A and B are shown apart, each in its own frame.
Chain A
Amino acid sequence: MIALKDVSFEYNSIERSAGVYDINLEIPSGQVLMLCGASGCGKTTITRLINGLAPAYYPGDLRGKLLIDGTDSSGLSLYELSQKIGSVFQNPRSQFFSVDSSSEIAFGCENTGVEREEMYRRIGRVARDLHMESLLDRNLFALSGGEKQRIACASVAAMQPEIFILDEPSSNLDLRTIADLKEVIRQWKTQGKTVIIAEHRLYYLMDLIDRVIYMEKGRIIRDLSVEEFRNMDERELHQKGLRSQKPIHFEVKEDKLCEEDALRFTGLSFSYGKNEFLDIPEMQIPYGAIVGVLGYNGAGKSTLANVICGLEKGVRGSLHYKGKEFSSKKRRKCSYMVMQDVNHQLFTESVLEEILLSMKEEGEAAKQRAEEILRDLNLTELQELHPMSLSGGQKQRVAIGSAIAADRDLLLFDEPTSGLDYLHMLEVSELLKRLGREGKTVFLITHDPELLRECCNYLLFLDKGRLSWSGAWTKENTGRVNRFFSAE
């Protein structure tokens, strides 16, 4: 059993701001509990308090008492806690230590001095329990995000803790791999383990969890059973910044898109290694559409985005629009991608410079336009700050600003809302819609059904590097999208 008694915690460093206050919480053994709330509500901090990373790794002021199975956890070292509590984190790329999957699963056991034969047994058992025999002895750098996340789960499971803590484990996963993750959690539940999950995406957990804790500004506001939570009104959830707890249903929409004025891609083909492959003989996109690019992991969505931006070498095919032809190299000048990890594309020392860097104009004219762009994106107050000191959403807006400044017609977004709560998702969606109204054609790679419903008016579905269908929200396509998002 875990008990938090009058616990308050504040981080010492400025950048990590979401402290928690007056937390009283008892979690009996075997319970599956979900922590939810808007970004910055302190749910991640709670997970860190339980697994001991706060204050041992993330220093701060801790008041109150935290008991794990009756022992005061402040007397336990991280090492001791690690044998009782297993933690899975948000980013699959940054939580593995080894380069091959089997060693990674064994990593925790190695640290705690488990004998080699016993490790073999545990790896075998964990691989069977989590249905991942095929993932053993693979190079971790060649695995997808979802596969890495399952390895992370297996690695903590091999340590055989009684408590599992997951901090936004689904943020970087697609639907099919979320279903795998769900299966893993279900296994733990049937084994009688305590599971604590901090999460934005709620719907996939609804038939697993026993209890929901809703937090706001570092405090626990509601403590609900899953039945009570399920009966909560969708609108009430959204007001609290929460995503839907039910699967999203899509409806037929009639948008007027100018079909004549189309972007015509012809003969796009590209191949690289075994995994990257693309072959699209013909693809038409209405001018000014917001295109949702759908498909499973490995279907070629990111490859398509790179090909459209002219970032891959050896691409065949071209794009025709406005009576001009754009080869791969020319497309680099008319397109811009906002990457999933936006840190990769911010280079300068202030927000204003970042915008100016993209501009063709110089001097006063450039400065004026830059200020306009900043104003439109609500960035004026931040213009002197270093881009790296901003929050994730602000960084994203700076990257969008630099795309607008570069005057590109095609804008591509790779998972702009992964890990965002409902309100931040709406902000992104509004921004995308505005770009569409301003005549940009927007490609949106996303696994986020709510974002898709909010802002896309055209759809592309990729399967194994080929275009399997495309079109607006017609009856037929809407049915397809509903099937795609409801399938597990």
Chain B
Amino acid sequence: MEENLLYRPPKHRGLYLDPRTKLLFLFVLATLLFLLHENLPLNSILVLIPILLLLSDRQYRPAWIYGGLFIAAVLAKEFDRRMGFPYLPAMLLGLLSELIFRFFPVFMFGYYIIKSTKPNEFISAMELWHIPESFIIPVSVVFRFVPTLREENRSIGNAMRMRGIRFGAAKFWKNPTMILEYRVIPLMMSVAKIGDELSAAALSRGLGGPKKRTCLLKPHFGICDAGIAVLTGVLILWTLMERV
């Protein structure tokens, strides 16, 4: 009878990476993108990694959007190389495609981390690195606040549309900065309120106590983490060979 009552956490679907691996790889990715120089195959791999990880976490929409943007940027670049755009569009396009090539992989990987990591898992992984709790806990709240921001932002957007506050409306031209102000201020207000109530709820359940925290989920390195480690080695070697 007791045995039936036992809860067991579900098996991870898709790829499971330890939060520590994710964080380390984020730095690797950022560094490699910084060192990268006109190497489309390597760049494509660096773009593909976050996309594949997003797909494995069933985040189809961002994965397809980013994949599409990347392909468009590659095509635009290729077109420019062969035919040549006029100066100004070429410059703008170059800027945009560099953004897509060099910055977006890091953003997308960050998005993947936030989407695929649970706050408690993150806390216990960081504790294994002996990072102080006063730093970990505020950071871990981010995982919970990103979806909250989206929910709040959606209702504020609805409220704005209902009052006819939108880009291009007559009211907009009178005071163009208001569109930002009206979106950000209610958002900050409601996030502050949620944060306040959340702190009260967390404290009343013993957060910040003297006893060492335990964790429902045990972060552990697995075969996927080993795969990422090998991949990291290969990518670093490749980049270094290019530079020499």
Contact = CB atoms under 8 A, between A and B. Distances in A.
A344 B187 CA distance: 7
B156 interface: yes
A112 B209 contact: yes
Contacts of A81: 204
B39 interface: no
B220 interface: no
Interface string A66-97: 00000000000111011101110101011111
B190 interface: yes
Interface residues of A, number: 73
B240 interface: no
A381 interface: no
Which of A83, A94, A115, A155 has its CB near the most chain B CB atoms (within 10 A)?
A: A94
B217 to A, nearest CB: 7
B92 interface: no
A412 B155 CA distance: 15
A97 B202 contact: yes
B130 interface: no
Looking at chain B's contact residues, the main secondary structure is helix
A94 B7 contact: no
Interface in A292-343: 306, 309, 311, 332-333, 335-337, 339, 341, 343
Contacts, number: 194
A51 B202 CA distance: 12
Interface stretch (B49-57, B192-200, B222-230): B192-200
Interface string B139-176: 00101100110011001101111111100000100000
Nearest to A54: B200
B216 A102 contact: yes
Contact of A311 (B119, B161, B194): B161
A344 B206 contact: no
B197 A91 contact: yes
A107 B190 contact: no
B82 interface: no
Which of B5, B10, B119, B178 has its CB near the most chain A CB atoms (within 10 A)?
A: B5
B44 to A, nearest CB: 32
A79 B210 contact: yes
B197 A95 contact: yes
Contacts of A79: 206, 208-210
B162 A332 contact: yes
A136 B182 CA distance: 38
Contacts of B204: 51-53, 78, 81-82, 85-87
A363 to B, nearest CB: 13
A343 B190 contact: yes
A97 B210 CA distance: 19
A11 to B, nearest CB: 14
A112 B204 CA distance: 11
A137 B185 CA distance: 34
B143 A111 contact: no
Contacts of A347: 159-160, 163, 165, 178, 181-182, 185-186
Contacts of A406: 163-164
Interface of B: 2, 4-10, 118-121, 141, 143-144, 147-148, 151-152, 155-156, 158-165, 171, 178, 181-182, 185-186, 189-190, 193-194, 197-218
15 contacts: A82-B209, A97-B201, A99-B119, A100-B118, A102-B7, A110-B216, A111-B207, A120-B8, A121-B6, A159-B206, A311-B158, A332-B162, A337-B158, A337-B162, A358-B163
Interface of A: 51-53, 56-58, 77-79, 81-83, 85-87, 89, 91, 93-100, 102-103, 106-116, 119-121, 123-125, 127-128, 136-137, 141, 152, 155-156, 159, 306, 309, 311, 332-333, 335-337, 339, 341, 343-347, 357-358, 388, 402, 406
